[in-house]
Structure 1
Amino acid sequence: MSSSPSEVPLDDAELVTRARAGDLEAYDLLVARHTASAYRTAVLLGAGPDAEDVIQEAFVKGYRKLSRYRGESSFRSWLLAIVANETRNLHRSRSRRDGLVLRAAVVNPMSEIAEDAAVEAVLAGERRAALVKALRLLPEKDREVIVCRFFLDLSEDETVTMLGWARGTVKSRTSRALTKLRGLLDREEVRRG
């Protein structure tokens, strides 16, 4: 499926059609085309150092679920919805893991495993804290809509698809989240000034 300089690059719809027919090279091209935005999505939604694992899992799930993609939205927004879900799964598993680590440390305070995992949890927290401060302070749903609309530059329709919200919810949440973000940024500016 190599293209000569005179060939027009295939669009996502054609690559999806070919990938569904078993053309792995077509799916590789989709992966290459959307890796950067998938990575940005995972990082901005809080995956931190696990972003690469999140997007790898998302691409695998995307391939398995390719038959479910109906083309009602862009492939990119459909894929980023999977990335967002995988990031949410990561947050849930981190919470469970951190709880297990704390319980293990209480049961056996000298446990090297508990100590390593606790240090790992602290380091991961510090890396997450390095994200844009004002964005970090927003509630999760506000952060998600801001990331989609402004960091990933998704259209309103793509944001509706990615987050699974009604169009009116996306519009109102975007407006409220921007107001909150402006307020946080203004307060930070006053504090530094």
Structure 2
Amino acid sequence: MHAGPDDAELLARVRGGDRDAYAELVGRHAPIALRTAALLGAGADAEDVVQEAFVKAYAALDRFRPGAPFRPWLLRIVANEARNLHRSTSRRSARERQWERAAPLLLSRPDDPAESVLSRERQDALVRGLAGLSPHHRQVVTCRYLLDLDEAETATVLGWPRGTVKSRLHRALARLRDVLDAESDLPEEVTRGG
């Protein structure tokens, strides 16, 4: 069974004027782009952010380095668009509430049986914990663990050096652990839901 052309083949066809090839790239990468935008704070505007990112990516294809992986390059554009949205938003607390409302839907992955095991209470605690992190810490945790990007892809998407990804991830996980540990200090009947 043929899996279809890889990204490099599609990009070569796009450069040759094949718009259908770009539509195939969009279809292939739209789900991860949408998750990225929403988890990096675009909330209800995630679709607009992704659409703008795909338009900008198309316009910038002449600057894309042939042979480089397309997904991290695209997700960096998505991340930049999400940040641009943040800059135009007047209040950080409104963004935090927006992220908290969107995150539970985005954290669940019905195609991943391991994710379905995560109880609703633990998922809610994780969302609260992530919302309590600084934007940089939330972004690095989101990229590494919610979007399953490796360290190099995370560095590309966020536009940070790999060392910054490592140090921020270490601090973010320590902070998240502290928040989740504090919640687990609640009386057992509260944490069990009874």
Range of TM-score over shorter length: 0.7 to 0.9
Structure 1: 4+ residue segments shifted above 6 A? none
Q: Name stretches of at least 5 consecutive residues in structure 2 with no aligned partner.
A: 104-126
- Aligned partner of 1:160 in structure 2 is 155
Q: Is residue 96–residue 131 contact of structure 2 (8 Å, CA) maintained in 1?
A: no
Structure 1: gaps spanning 5 or more residues: 1-5, 99-120
Normalising by structure 2, we get a TM-score of 0.77
Which of 128, 140, 144 matches 2:99? 128
The 10-residue stretch of structure 1 (44-53 or 165-174) with the greater mean CA deviation from structure 2: 165-174
Helix, strand or coil: the match of 1:47? helix
CA distance in structure 2 between the partners assigned to 1:174 and 1:71 by the alignment: 30
Seq. identity, %: 54
Paired residues of 2:36 and 2:79 also in contact (CA < 8 A)? yes
Whether the 8 Å CA contact 2:38–2:46 is kept in 1: the answer is: yes
1:91 paired residue among 75, 78, 86: 86
Question: Aligned residue pairs: how many?
Answer: 163
Superposed, which structure 2 residues align to 1:18-29 within 5 Å?
A: 18-29=13-24
Letter in 1 for 2:182: R
Query: How far apart, CA to CA, are the structure 2 residues paired with 1:71 and 1:161?
Result: 16
1:81 to 69, 76, 81: 76
* Cα distance in 2 between the residues matched to 1:21 and 1:190: 60
What per-residue deviation string (whole Å, max 9, x for no partner) do you get for residues 40-99 of structure 1? 11111111111111101011101101111114642111000001000011111122xx6x
Amino acid aligned to 1:129:
E
Conserved 8 A contact 1:142-1:174: yes
TM-score after normalising by structure 1: 0.77
Q: Is the 8 A contact 1:160 1:170 kept in 2?
A: yes
State the alpha-carbon separation in 1 of the partners of residues 130 and 96 from structure 2.
15
Superposed CA RMSD: 2.0
Residue number among 58, 63, 67 corresponding to 2:58 in the alignment: 63
